[in-house]
Amino acid sequence: MMGFGSGLGMTGFGLGFGGLGGLLVLVLLVVGGVYLFRALDHKAATRNHTQRTAEDGALQLLRERYARGEIDHDEYQRRKEDLRAE
């Protein structure tokens, strides 16, 4: 009997869908890429939000200490600049 290839189907992946198998693989690659991009972007956004929250909290604490008179104006300005430099 004459063979029609390796028996893995027309795409070589054994899906037996012909042209649809290649399309399915392409769609899965695109969906996987989008998912990976969104996961990495979410991590970066979370990290940036956490860093901003910590900086805002430190600056708020500095303002409160200045308002209570625990530190003078020069000390307040120096520490505020130090916080912004980080």
Distance in angstroms (rounded) separating the CA atoms of residues 11 and 7? 10
**3-class DSSP state of 13:** coil
Residues in Cβ contact with 25 at an 8 Å cutoff, skipping those fewer than 6 apart: 11, 13
Domain that holds residue 79: 24-85
In a domain, 19, yes or no: no
Average predicted confidence (pLDDT) for the chain: 77
Percent residues over pLDDT 70 in the chain: 67
CA 24 to the chain's CA centroid: 27
Asked if residue 86 lies in contact with residue 68, where contact means CB atoms within 8 angstroms, the answer is no
- Please state the pTM of the whole predicted model: 0.39
Retrieve residue 56's tokens.
Answer: 């805002």
For residues 19-29, give the mean pLDDT. Answer: 83
Q: What is the pLDDT of residue 24?
A: 84
Distance in angstroms (rounded) separating the CA atoms of residues 28 and 8? 20
In a domain, 72, yes or no: yes
pLDDT for 43-80, tens place per residue?
A: 776 766 666 676 788 888 999 999 999 999 999 999 98
Q: What is the pLDDT of residue 4?
A: 52
> How many structural domains comprise the chain?
1
In a domain, 68, yes or no: yes
